[in-house]
Amino acid sequence: MSEASKTNLLGLTKGAMEAFFEGLGAKPFHGRNVLKWIHKHGVVDFDAMSDVPKALRRTLHEMAEVTLPRIALTQPSADGTLKWVIELVDGQHVETVYIPDDGRSTICVSSQVGCALDCSFCSTAQQGFNRNLDIAEIIAQVWLATRELGHPPTNVVMMGMGEPLANFDNVVPAMELMQEDLAYMISKSRVTISTSGIVPALVRLREVSDVSLAVSLHAPDNALRDQLVPINRKYPLEQLIPACKAFIANDKRRKITWEYVMLDGVNDSIAHAKALIRLLQGVPSKVNLIPFNPFPGTAYETSSADRIEVFRQRLKRAGIMAITRKTRGDDIDAACGQLVGRVKDRSRRHLRRIPIVQEQRP
């Protein structure tokens, strides 16, 4: 059998692995054992899997493989953050970020090569879009991070390059592997998927997964959000907010995390804060205020620390949990909105930009 026709076991969930081994005439438990070897023990050589029968190992050499991308570059930040540039088999590149914080370890995982959603304040979006990552390429980022760190991360956030819900059929099984007891054993509450608001996919996600949800909001009204987050023109706030509320409806302990990048003179006034309070009324919420992280060619500037704090205090007085996110990894372009990889743009999104009107200060 040619290498191209072999099955990459790295991207198989437990159910898919069991089915694959049954197709080989083996018992399902052999599939579970191999899954454990690959993800929990980091072993990709079939001959090193001591509880797999020799005859089955020979069959695996003929029918299967464990193919991983490689870390092309490791960039350490002064604050302990690490950024890995991952080279995929086809030569494309994505970026994965490790963020240590008080005994916790968070891995920020990419789901696409580039991004097609064209959010104007995001460096990834300015690179355009090439393709979706497959299941193996998504989970490989966790596999590589686990091997580099010597332990699995305590948290995974699908907040790297790309819009995860635009790659639904690959992201959901990858998140299942992250939570699998035979693999990384990450709690569902510690796996977070971030979306800009693809409402039909969000409704579908609710039916198959109960991971944590973060939403890239960035504006409290449709007019401004249409400019900052163009997917809002298709799925406006009147659709997005109810879908988010429904996502956590069966668990009173859960909240939606709203990501709100602070752009000087664009979305950071008291009037914006008041509009945001009205928008989130009745929705269990946590708001992450994110100081804008600049990138080459951007026209935006980050709001001042004082302005962000006034905004935060206004939300807090209204009973909304609001946190100013500490910028991490900005010295290596690893902070929120700065990931770029190397994208051969097939979308030509960069040719269709809409100017943003900034607030005029007295």
Which residues are the active-site residues? 95, 336
Residue with tokens 């956590």: 248
SS3 50: coil
Phi-psi region of 296 (alpha: psi -120 to 50; beta: other; left: phi over 0): beta
SS (H, E, C) the chain: CCHHHCEEHHHCCHHHHHHHHHHCCCCHHHHHHHHHHHHCCCCCCHHHCCCCCHHHHHHHHHHEECCCCEEEEEEECCCCCEEEEEECCCCCEEEEEEEEECCEEEEECCCEEECCCCCCCCHHHHCCEEEECCHHHHHHHHHHHHHHHCCCCCEEEECCCCCHHHHHHHHHHHHHHHHCCCCCCCCHHHEEEEECCCHHHHHHHHHHCCCEEEEECCCCCHHHHHHHCHHHHCCCHHHHHHHHHHHCCCCCCCCEEEEEEEECCCCCCHHHHHHHHHHCCCCCEEEEEEECCCCCCCCCCECCHHHHHHHHHHHHHCCCEEEECCCCCHHHCCCCCCCCCECCCCCCHHHCCCCCCCCCCC
SS3 355: coil
